[in-house]
Structure 1
Amino acid sequence: MALAIGNWSALSALPGMDDAEFARWADLLERRTGVVVPPARKPFLVTAVRGRMRETGHSRFDDYYRDLHKVPEGAIEWTTLVDRLTVHETHFFRHPPSFDLIASEWLPRLMQSGSEGALHAWSVGCSTGEEAYTLAMVLDRHIGMLSDARVYFGVTATDVSQPALAVGRSGLYPRNKFNEIPADYRERYVDEIDADSFQVREALRKRVGFAQFNLLDVARAPLKRLDLIFCQNVLIYFARDRRRELLTALAGLLKPGGMLVLGAGEVTSFAHPALSRVPHRQALAFLRNR
C-alpha cells in the first residue's frame, strides 16, 4: 500500500474528521475514481488526507478540499492525493491459476482457431506493472511454443496513479520481488542489476505500454477489439452496482473468443448475454461468444 504516514506528532495537531466530513471526502473519491471507502476504512482515508495536508501546509480540511477544486492547480494536487488513496500492493504471478488458464487453455484454443497477426491484452489497474509484465512473459513464452507463425502481441497497462506507472515503465524492481518470478521465466526475461534490484529486459518492456486511465471512463476507452482483459483486485474497490456497469462495458471491448479474467470471488452471480463462464475451479474468467 502506497501511503506516507509522515510525522505523527505533526499530524496530531491537525483537526479530527467527523462523520459528515468523512462522508464528504469519501463521496469526492467515489465520484472521481469510483473507489468506495466504507466507514470501516475511515482511519485509512483520514491518515492519507492528513499526511498530504501536512506536506502542503494545510491545517483545515475545508481549506484543502477547496484548493483541490481550483483550476488548474487543484487537478495537479488531486493526482498526488489519489496516489496516496489508492492501493498499490501487487506481485508478479500473483494468482497462478489465472495465468495457467491463459497459457494452458485459452492460448492453445486461440492458436488452433487460426488466429494470426496481433494479439492485444489489457492489464486494468496495473499498479507498478508486475501484473502487466507477468502477462507479457506468459504470452511471449507460450505463443512461441504454440505457433510457428509470427504472432505479435502487446499489453496495454493502465492505472490512475502516475507514480505507480513510472515504476512500471522503468521495469526496475526491488530484490525482494525476484523470487516471485518462476526460475524459468527469470532466466528469459529479467536481469539482476545489483544486490538490491533487478530489471525486466528491454525486449519485453517494449511489449508493454503504460498509460494513465480511470476505469470509470471505460465507456470511452480508446481500446477496442481486445483479445484479453485482465482485471484482478480492481472491482473490489467499487460499489456492487458500479461493478456490473464496468463489467458490461469491458465485455463490449472483447473480440469474439476474447477472454475477461477477474479475481476469484470478485463478483458473484454475474451474467452477460455476450459472455460465457469458463469452467475452471480456481480462476474466474469469461469468454466472449463468437
Structure 2
Amino acid sequence: MNHQLRTGLSTVPEMDDTQFVRWQGLLEERTGMCLAPQRRSFLQTSLGLRMREVGCDSYQEYYDRIVNGASGAIEWSTLVDRLTVQETRFFRDPDAFAFVEQFVQQKAAESGDDGALEFWSVGCSSGEEAYSLAMVAERHLTAQGKRYAVTGTDISTIVLRKARAGRYQPRALDWVTDEYRQLGFKDLQPGSPVQVSDTLRQRCCFSQVNILNLANCPLQSQHVIYCQNVLIYFRRWRRREILNVLAERLAPGGILVIGLGEMVDWQHPLLEQVHSSRVSAFVRKQSNSTGETTRR
C-alpha cells in the first residue's frame, strides 16, 4: 500500500526502510553527515517537497535522477542546501566566545606586528558565527592597530549567499549585547531588518567547502578555528579525521574551539587541551628553534 503523509505544504509519500537506508547512505557518502533514524521524517519531508517541485513521483525515481549525469549534480547541489542547513545565531555559545575574546585580548596586547590574525568559522551556515568572531576581533584588535581576517566555510551555497549579504531579521540580535550591536551593525531601526556593518563585511569572506575535502582546503596558519555544532552530525571516526586536519591548520599558539561533548576522548600531538568544564578547546603548542613543539 502506498501510504502518504500530509504536511502543512503538501502530501509526500511515506519512505520505507529500504529507501531511507539508500538516501541515508548517499548523504553520508557525499557530505559525511550521518542521519539518525529518528530524523527519517525530516528526510522524508525534505525529499518529498523537492520531488513535488521537480515532478518526481517516487523516492527511487528522484534518487536515480540525483545520481545520474550532469543534471543530477546540479539537482544534488540544490537538495544538499535543504538537508544540511543548521540553526545558528550570533554569539550562540557565550562561554566559548568569552574564551575566544580572552585569547584575542592577549593577542592585542602583544608587541610587534606579525601580520593579520586569521579566524576560521567551520560550518558557518548563514554567517552569524563568522560575524560574531569579526566583532570580537574588531573590538580588541583594531584599536591596537592590528589587522584581522575571518573566513567562513560551508557546503551550502544558499546560506553562503545570505552570509555574504549580511542582512538578518531583528530577532537575530536577541543575543547580541548593546556594545556589539553598535559595533557590528548599521542603520538599526526597531522592527526593521538589520545589516552587518561595511567594516565587518570587508573583513569577512565566505567560501563553499565540503568538510569531507578539508585536506584540499587552502587555509593554513589559522589563529582561531571555531568548529561548533558541526561534528555531532558525523560518525566518531570521521570526527577524528576532521579534527586531525584542523589541528594541522592552526598556527603555533592558535586555538581550536569545538562544542562541549562533541569529541571527549580526542588527542593530538600538536595540541594541548584547555582544562575547562565550560569550553572544549585546544591550543597548538609553540615550536622552539629546533622545530620541536613545546608547551605554551
Determine if the TM-score, normalized by the shorter chain, exceeds 0.5.
yes
The corresponding residue for 2:116 is 118
Matched residues in 1 for 2:107 and 2:10: separation? 58
The alpha carbon displacement at 1:120 in A equals: 1.0
- Structure 2: 5+ residue stretches without partners: 287-296
1:257 aligns with 2:226: no
Which letter maps to 2:176? I
The corresponding residue for 2:54 is 56
Q: 2:126, 2:159 within 8 Å by CA — same for their partners in 1?
A: yes
Residues matched between the structures, number: 281
Q: 1:210 to 1:67 in 2, by over 3 A?
A: same
Q: 1:125, 1:231 within 8 Å by CA — same for their partners in 2?
A: yes
Q: 2:85, 2:156 within 8 Å by CA — same for their partners in 1?
A: no
* Alignment counterpart, residue 227 of structure 2, candidates 227, 231, 238: 231
Matched residues in 1 for 2:155 and 2:262: separation? 20
Which letter maps to 1:173? Y
1:92 aligns with 2:90: yes
The corresponding residue for 2:196 is 200
The corresponding residue for 1:184 is 179
The alpha carbon displacement at 1:194 in A equals: 6.4
Q: 1:6, 1:51 within 8 Å by CA — same for their partners in 2?
A: no
Q: 1:179 to 1:167 in 2, by over 3 A?
A: same
The alpha carbon displacement at 1:103 in A equals: 1.3
The corresponding residue for 2:152 is 157
The alpha carbon displacement at 1:116 in A equals: 2.2
1:1-290 to 2 correspondences below 5 Å: 8=8, 10-12=10-12, 14=13, 16-105=14-103, 107-108=105-106, 111-112=109-110, 114=112, 116-144=114-142, 147=144, 150-191=145-186, 192=188, 195-290=191-286
Q: 1:159, 1:165 within 8 Å by CA — same for their partners in 2?
A: yes
The alpha carbon displacement at 1:137 in A equals: 0.2
Matched residues in 2 for 1:9 and 1:101: separation? 43
Matched residues in 2 for 1:110 and 1:189: separation? 19
- Give SS of 2:116's match: strand
The alpha carbon displacement at 1:43 in A equals: 1.1
Q: 1:264, 1:282 within 8 Å by CA — same for their partners in 2?
A: yes
Q: 1:110, 1:257 within 8 Å by CA — same for their partners in 2?
A: no
Q: 2:225, 2:257 within 8 Å by CA — same for their partners in 1?
A: yes
- Give SS of 1:37's match: coil
The alpha carbon displacement at 1:112 in A equals: 2.7
Which letter maps to 1:275? L
TM-score after normalising by structure 2 = 0.90
Which letter maps to 1:164? V
Q: 1:228, 1:254 within 8 Å by CA — same for their partners in 2?
A: yes
Matched residues in 1 for 2:165 and 2:189: separation? 13
Identity %: 43
Q: 1:229 to 1:250 in 2, by over 3 A?
A: same
- Give SS of 1:241's match: helix
- Structure 1: 5+ residue stretches without partners: none
Which letter maps to 2:182? E
Matched residues in 1 for 2:207 and 2:29: separation? 21
Matched residues in 1 for 2:108 and 2:251: separation? 11
Matched residues in 1 for 2:269 and 2:108: separation? 21
The alpha carbon displacement at 1:210 in A equals: 0.7
Whose relative contact order is higher, 1 or 2, with alpha carbons under 8 Å and at least 6 apart? Answer: 1
RMSD: 1.9
Which letter maps to 2:11? L
The alpha carbon displacement at 1:106 in A equals: 5.2
